[in-house]
Structure 1
Amino acid sequence: MFSLKKAHQQLGALLATVFLTGTTPLSAQDLTIPAEAKTAAAAVRPEAIRAHMTFIADDVMEGRKPGTRGYTLIANYVKAQFEALGLKPAGENNTYLQKVPLRQWQVDEQKSNLQIQTKAGERTLVYGKNFILSPNFNQPSADVSAPVVFVGFGVTAPELGYDDYKGIDVKGKIVAYFNGAPTSFPSNQRAYYSSSKPENAAAHGAVGVITFSLPSDVRARVESAAPRARQGVFKWMDNQGNPQRTFPQLIGSASFSDSTARSLFVGTSKNFEEAVAIAHRNTPQAFPLNATVRMHTETLSPQTIMGYNVIGLLPGSDPVLKNEYVVYVCHLDHLGIGRPVKGDSIYNGAHDNASGIAINLEAARLFTLLPKAPKRSILFVGVTGEEMGLLGSDYFASNPTVPKDKMVANLTLDMPFFFHPLLDIVPYGAQHSSLNNEVTAAAKYLGITVSPDPMPEQVVFMRSDHFSFVRQGIPALFVKSGSQTGNPQLDGLKLNLDWRATIYHSPQDDMNQPFDFSAAARHVQLQFLIGYLTSQSPTRPVWNKDDFFGTKFGTARQ
């Protein structure tokens, strides 16, 4: 039987061993790092990062899935670390915890069905082979039957002069569209519009959606998506018990296989190959399909679990600026216990994201070494449900335990990648706001190069918890290691891609990996110094003029 007391005693011994050993913001050129911040940064402990990660990624944590004993253990561990550092409780009711009500929906495949009606007759599709359905979050049993209209990528991007819905009425119709967005879009806009299409369909009056991939895109095939879909969909609930970021107007939502999608285009004004060619030319398109689709979705009774964010506060020292907050975030959860791979079924999540937790804990310790707290308050938030769709961070950013308009910046850390020396970084988000100045100054002091995104097609800026804060108009950063290794025989980009292909989201993401803890320590210093400079600045960060995300979300804060 697992002994929590014994585990804490072992951890204590391990840690004891390693621990003994409004106006225009200032430009990067104007920023200087004072001696006390340099001294604190120099006190970073690589061995402490290893110790934290070793415990957090241990099998006893059972993969840290929300709602399990393992997640309770990690929440208690982070809470204990905050207490030991002297951080104030900043959750609910003078505790370190914020409850995050989560609910899971699953489709009842046996009772759900989909038919296509064309001039050739009616065809009933096979679930998991021809199509899959998304749960209906508002009705246990939902039916929709309507003509289908093809709308290209299903994107409306006025600032880019692009609209697939121009000149066509889809009210009361089911819209069908390709996954993704035009390749001519800048990578961040491409990512945003790829993920916001259901909202756009609902805004145009559609009652259902059908999605399918371009033939060249094998990532979202029904065959590969079905197993993950069978795990269900989680949403966070508001105070009235309503699931968030859903669109009740869309009664049915389906994904089609390639061959099934092609059948929709038979006898229409353009065949499937012509529609694909137009999509590759990045040209808007829309036309009716000669088909009516009937979807019947049975959704199993939703299961509710209570997730927890863990929140600690270092109060600021300035009488006025202490009422503003620089928010550090890392996600505490991972995938739990799942399908065995190479004889292991525990998804430990060492890099994803025990590394981010450990680095933020050590950065928090550096702040406590300062002779005087920074002017602004520093909020450290460990969030739940990132692997379920950024749920804990979205809940906190939407329902913060401090005034929302007083959160001035977010620094998120999620698998920063330290398998080689940290010689350069890719600071996702820096190009969107004045936080670039703090990044540049901190990197320069540490002798780290700032590099462009080596994988823009991965659209990383929208793929972790920082984006929950961007949605609330808060400038955010997500710093990851670049590709420089200092070794001409070691390709950093290939190393990253190979790791993603073989280790990412598998039980092999454990502590038996060649982590470079000196590189991890430099990540700590970088996180600390960027946040320190931000907290000391007389002005809060601002979005760059005409920035896409600043225009899209930042205007709500003005």
Structure 2
Amino acid sequence: MKTALTLPLFLFSFSFLAAQDPAGIPAEAQKAAQSVKPEAIRAHMRFLADDAMEGRKPGTRGYRLAANYVISQFEALGLQPAGDGQTYLQKVPLRQWRVNEDGCSLTVLGKKGQEQLLIYGKNYTLSPVYGDAKSEITAPVVFVGFGVTAPDLGYDDYKNMDVKGKIVAYFNGAPAAFPSSQRAYHGSAKLENAAAHGAVGVISFSLPTDVRNRMEASSARSRQGTYRWLGKDGKPQRVFPELKGVAALGDSTARVFLAQSGRALADIIAAANKSIPQAFPLNLSVRMKTETQSGGDIEGYNVVGLLPGTDPVLKNEYVVYVSHLDHLGIGRPVKGDSIFNGAHDNASGVAINLEAARMYASLPTKPKRSILFVGVTAEEMGLLGSDYFASNPTVPKEKMIANLCLDMPFFFHPLIDIVPYGYEHSSMAKEVNTVAKYLGVKVAKDPMPEQVVFMRSDHFSFVRQGIPAIYVKSGTESGNPQIDGLKLNLDWRATIYHSPQDDINQPFDYNAAAKHAQIQFLVGYLTAQNPQRPTWNAGDFFGNKFGPKPGVRSSAESGR
């Protein structure tokens, strides 16, 4: 490893920067940031990604070992327990559901009474119908483009189309003309939108250019089952009981469906590619039968530690750090290895946040606001642990004023530029700019908007609760003309991501990881010291969607 050779130069450079350009950062915070320990990040990662953790799947011995390790670090740093019952753990009740294929069917009903029974796993798959062991619907099918309603963008696939009591069919994804974050949100909110319009079922399929949702891939995923967290009433959350059938079609089957409309398939695809809303009947009906069974319960755990603030008033508000502790466990062997260690995804994020916690603990005067560090479970199951915490926090929800997430920050080359997801949405951009200038890193735009990163990690659980969030990842500059940072990232995603090869033996640049830790610490520190809590930018999509409504003061603001 090259860490030992470059560390003195690394620390010297930051001492120089601190002296030349303080950038409004207090001296004690500068000193804490300069104390960063790349070797500590490596040590945390080495433990969390060890084979003994068995891939840290929720509900396993390995996950509990990893959680106990994080607890021991919290205790050593003097963080107070902030989970359930004065412990460091918050229980997260999880339940799995699976579709029983033998009890499922999808039949196409033509106008003249003809019936065509489709083949599960070849023509279609079904999602669980939560709460109903057996569900059956028969209804006409209406095509609704992308199935998106976005009045702020002047777009509505449901305009002038009554779908009450009907099954809606739509393309996966969202209009390409949408800004990246809005596209990501609307692409993920289509079941909710269908239910809101009165539909009783959904059929989704892909555009010809979308290879990610092909039947062979979606069929394998569907057989793994899905998880949801349970509310206090024991019912699964973020489900839509109005929808009695949810199907995904293979490409060739979808073409047959669309052909029944009497419209040219090329015209339908062209309109979608041009982001033109469209809706029309498909001139057929579908009978969908879904048999759902519970795959059992898992008691997941979030790990929560608290650094109390020092201001008499502001200490009752919280800056929340989050990183997911879980990974995929043990699976099919790949290149002779069956343990999905998750070194980068996401032992790295946990390790860096632990190093940020150490910097906070080293401060002679702690921040004005309190700092929460949360290692969340079940991110790989659909952001479930963070959604549970953000919905059922162990502190007053309205007192959580900001979130900083870290997940796979990508440190396989020096950190020259950063992509701070969420930057364009809130006033936290000011803190990011201040810290970036101090550390000498550039702020770059999202180089991979098609990856819809803003929706894909735990910060979005806090955005849903109206809490501004920042999620920093490495940019594409490597400082070496021979190394294309974007290609390196894409290649890693294509070959290592979610495989057993994501282990500690990769060529990590721990100095770059240390700079990530400095960014995490300093952005959170400045946020905690700011007399004003972060605000959504005027007219921001997520602020309008989830934040306080105009003219309505939050309870936290009303208490001051």
Task: Give the equivalent residue in structure 2 for 1:24.
Answer: none
Task: Give the equivalent residue in structure 2 for 1:385.
Answer: 378
Task: Give the equivalent residue in structure 1 for 2:343.
Answer: 350
- Distance in 2 between residues matched to 1:469 and 1:272, nearest whole Å: 40
- Distance in 2 between residues matched to 1:250 and 1:117, nearest whole Å: 19
Task: Give the equivalent residue in structure 2 for 1:402.
Answer: 395
Contact 1:413–1:478 (Cα < 8 Å) also in 2: yes
**Aligned partner letter, 1:474:** I
- Compute the displacement of 1:102 (Å): 0.4
Task: Give the equivalent residue in structure 2 for 1:46.
Answer: 38
- Distance in 2 between residues matched to 1:234 and 1:271, nearest whole Å: 39
3-state SS of the aligned residue for 2:548?
A: helix
Contact 1:424–1:450 (Cα < 8 Å) also in 2: yes
1:137 and 2:130 aligned: yes
- Distance in 2 between residues matched to 1:93 and 1:555, nearest whole Å: 30
- Distance in 2 between residues matched to 1:528 and 1:148, nearest whole Å: 52
What are the residue-to-residue correspondences of 1:139-288 with 2, within 5 Å?
139-288=132-281
1:368 and 2:364 aligned: no
1:452 and 2:445 aligned: yes
- Distance in 2 between residues matched to 1:262 and 1:268, nearest whole Å: 10
Contact 2:22–2:438 (Cα < 8 Å) also in 1: no
1:502 and 2:499 aligned: no
- Compute the displacement of 1:224 (Å): 1.1
Match of 1:94 among 86, 96, 99: 86
What are the residue-to-residue correspondences of 1:517-536 with 2, within 5 Å?
517-536=510-529
Contact 1:266–1:290 (Cα < 8 Å) also in 2: no
3-state SS of the aligned residue for 1:106?
A: strand
- Distance in 1 between residues matched to 2:331 and 2:304, nearest whole Å: 29
- Distance in 2 between residues matched to 1:134 and 1:301, nearest whole Å: 13
1:513 and 2:502 aligned: no
Contact 2:41–2:513 (Cα < 8 Å) also in 1: yes
- Distance in 2 between residues matched to 1:45 and 1:89, nearest whole Å: 24
- Distance in 2 between residues matched to 1:490 and 1:268, nearest whole Å: 50
- Compute the displacement of 1:30 (Å): 11
The range that moved more, 204-213 or 118-127, is: 118-127
1:111 and 2:98 aligned: no
**Aligned partner letter, 2:87:** T
Match of 1:326 among 319, 324, 335: 319
TM-score for both structures, normalised by structure 2:
0.93
- Distance in 2 between residues matched to 1:362 and 1:270, nearest whole Å: 59
Match of 1:82 among 74, 80, 85: 74
**Aligned partner letter, 2:201:** G
Contact 1:64–1:70 (Cα < 8 Å) also in 2: yes
Task: Give the equivalent residue in structure 1 for 2:328.
Answer: 335
- Compute the displacement of 1:60 (Å): 0.3
Task: Give the equivalent residue in structure 1 for 2:3.
Answer: none
- Distance in 1 between residues matched to 2:265 and 2:67, nearest whole Å: 50
- Compute the displacement of 1:31 (Å): 6.2
- Distance in 2 between residues matched to 1:75 and 1:274, nearest whole Å: 53
Task: Give the equivalent residue in structure 2 for 1:26.
Answer: none
Task: Give the equivalent residue in structure 1 for 2:434.
Answer: 441
**Aligned partner letter, 2:196:** A
- Distance in 1 between residues matched to 2:138 and 2:26, nearest whole Å: 66
Contact 2:95–2:294 (Cα < 8 Å) also in 1: no
Task: Give the equivalent residue in structure 2 for 1:7.
Answer: none
- Compute the displacement of 1:267 (Å): 3.8
- Distance in 1 between residues matched to 2:322 and 2:276, nearest whole Å: 39
**Aligned partner letter, 1:215:** P
- Compute the displacement of 1:488 (Å): 0.4
**Aligned partner letter, 1:214:** L
Contact 1:269–1:287 (Cα < 8 Å) also in 2: no
1:554 and 2:528 aligned: no
Task: Give the equivalent residue in structure 1 for 2:408.
Answer: 415
- Distance in 1 between residues matched to 2:411 and 2:336, nearest whole Å: 26
- Compute the displacement of 1:262 (Å): 1.3
Task: Give the equivalent residue in structure 1 for 2:7.
Answer: none
- Compute the displacement of 1:457 (Å): 1.4
- Compute the displacement of 1:555 (Å): 2.3
Match of 2:59 among 56, 67, 72: 67
Deviations 1:88-142 (A, max 9, x none): 0000110001000001000001111111111462111111110000001110111
3-state SS of the aligned residue for 2:284?
A: strand
Deviations 1:471-491 (A, max 9, x none): 000000000011111100100
- Distance in 2 between residues matched to 1:96 and 1:209, nearest whole Å: 41
Identity percentage of aligned residues? 70
Shift in CA distance, 291/379, structure 1 to aligned 2, threshold 3 Å: same
3-state SS of the aligned residue for 1:33?
A: coil
3-state SS of the aligned residue for 1:93?
A: helix
**Aligned partner letter, 1:79:** I
Deviations 1:1-26 (A, max 9, x none): xxxxxxxxxxxxxxxxxxxxxxxxxx
3-state SS of the aligned residue for 1:245?
A: coil
Which ranges of structure 2 fall in alignment gaps of 5 or more residues? 1-20, 555-560
Task: Give the equivalent residue in structure 2 for 1:9.
Answer: none
**Aligned partner letter, 1:511:** I
Contact 1:416–1:481 (Cα < 8 Å) also in 2: yes
**Aligned partner letter, 1:507:** P
- Distance in 1 between residues matched to 2:138 and 2:378, nearest whole Å: 34
- Distance in 2 between residues matched to 1:303 and 1:224, nearest whole Å: 24
- Distance in 1 between residues matched to 2:22 and 2:537, nearest whole Å: 18
Task: Give the equivalent residue in structure 1 for 2:4.
Answer: none
Shift in CA distance, 524/471, structure 1 to aligned 2, threshold 3 Å: same
Contact 2:145–2:277 (Cα < 8 Å) also in 1: yes
1:465 and 2:458 aligned: yes
3-state SS of the aligned residue for 1:427?
A: strand
Matched residue count: 530
Contact 1:265–1:290 (Cα < 8 Å) also in 2: no
3-state SS of the aligned residue for 2:259?
A: coil
- Compute the displacement of 1:182 (Å): 0.8
3-state SS of the aligned residue for 2:373?
A: strand
**Aligned partner letter, 1:479:** V
1:431 and 2:418 aligned: no
Contact 1:104–1:232 (Cα < 8 Å) also in 2: yes
CA RMSD of aligned residues (A): 1.2
**Aligned partner letter, 1:61:** M
**Aligned partner letter, 2:305:** G
- Compute the displacement of 1:302 (Å): 3.8
- Distance in 2 between residues matched to 1:526 and 1:161, nearest whole Å: 38
TM-score for both structures, normalised by structure 1:
0.94
Contact 2:416–2:475 (Cα < 8 Å) also in 1: yes
3-state SS of the aligned residue for 1:430?
A: coil
- Distance in 1 between residues matched to 2:174 and 2:27, nearest whole Å: 48
Contact 1:202–1:247 (Cα < 8 Å) also in 2: yes
**Aligned partner letter, 2:450:** E
- Compute the displacement of 1:418 (Å): 0.4
Task: Give the equivalent residue in structure 2 for 1:20.
Answer: none
Contact 2:230–2:236 (Cα < 8 Å) also in 1: yes
**Aligned partner letter, 1:554:** G
What are the residue-to-residue correspondences of 1:113-128 with 2, within 5 Å?
113-119=105-111, 121-128=114-121
- Distance in 2 between residues matched to 1:195 and 1:180, nearest whole Å: 8
**Aligned partner letter, 1:444:** K
Contact 1:349–1:509 (Cα < 8 Å) also in 2: yes
